[in-house]
Structures are given as structure tokens and as C-alpha cells.
Amino acid sequence: MKRLDMDPSFGDRYLNEGFSGGEKKRNEILQMAILEPDVAILDETDSGLDVDALKVVARGVQEVRTDRPELGVLLITHYQRILRYLEPDAVHVLVDGRVVESGGPELAQRLEKEGFESWRST
């Protein structure tokens, strides 16, 4: 909880009861650290976070990955902003439910510049 800048009193609350959006996201990362899954699917973890909360959550993910390098993380996002703090090993572009291109971090940068239109005709 300390690593995620979470108030220790949050541990006394019911799961996500009375939590803000950012606190819920931090709680998800806390659960990932405690439960020690083999794979973590982070679906739009950056959604609704302000810049400060985004940095805290990204740092938390990175710390869990550092502690457990064997952990597989699938990060689903619509924006590149979280990728400024978490560098992906691979990037996959999905359009209409199918992977239309795969690559490295440079693919996310290209997508940010070009948008999805160039892949829609693929």
C-alpha cells in the first residue's frame, strides 16, 4: 500500500467501497502484487486517471514486474500515455476484434500519430 501511495485505512474497507477511480486502479495493482498471478490482464488501467495517479499506478506495475520478472502482463489501452512509464515488449493493434499488426514500442508511437484509419482498410 505504501508503494502505491494508498492510505493504510483503505485495507479496512470493503473491496472498492467508497474508492475513487484512481484508488480503484491502485487497488487493482495492489491485488496483482498480493495475489501473485502468473498473468495479469490490465484492461484500460490508465482510463480516468490524472497524470499523478497514472504515474503512481505505472510505478506500481513496474515494481511488481521488477519483483516478479516471470509475471506476464497484458496491458490493454487506447492511449499511449501509460506507455511513457511502462515500456512494452510487444504491441498489437486490434481493429474490429482482430490483430492487424504487431511490433515493438515504435508501433504504439506510430498508432498515436496516425490513428486507426490506416489499419481499417487492411
Question: Is residue 14 over pLDDT 70?
Answer: no
For the segment 23-55, what is each residue's pLDDT rounded down to a tens digit?
778 788 888 888 899 999 999 989 888 898 899
Give yes or no for a contact between 19 and 27, defined as CB atoms under 8 angstroms apart.
Answer: yes
Write down the domain spans for the chain.
1-80, 88-122
Which among 29, 12, 20 is positioned nearest to 50, based on CA atoms? 20
For the segment 45-89, what is each residue's pLDDT rounded down to a tens digit?
898 888 988 998 898 899 899 989 999 999 999 888 999 999 999
- What pTM was estimated for this model as a whole? 0.79
DSSP conformational letter for 89 = S
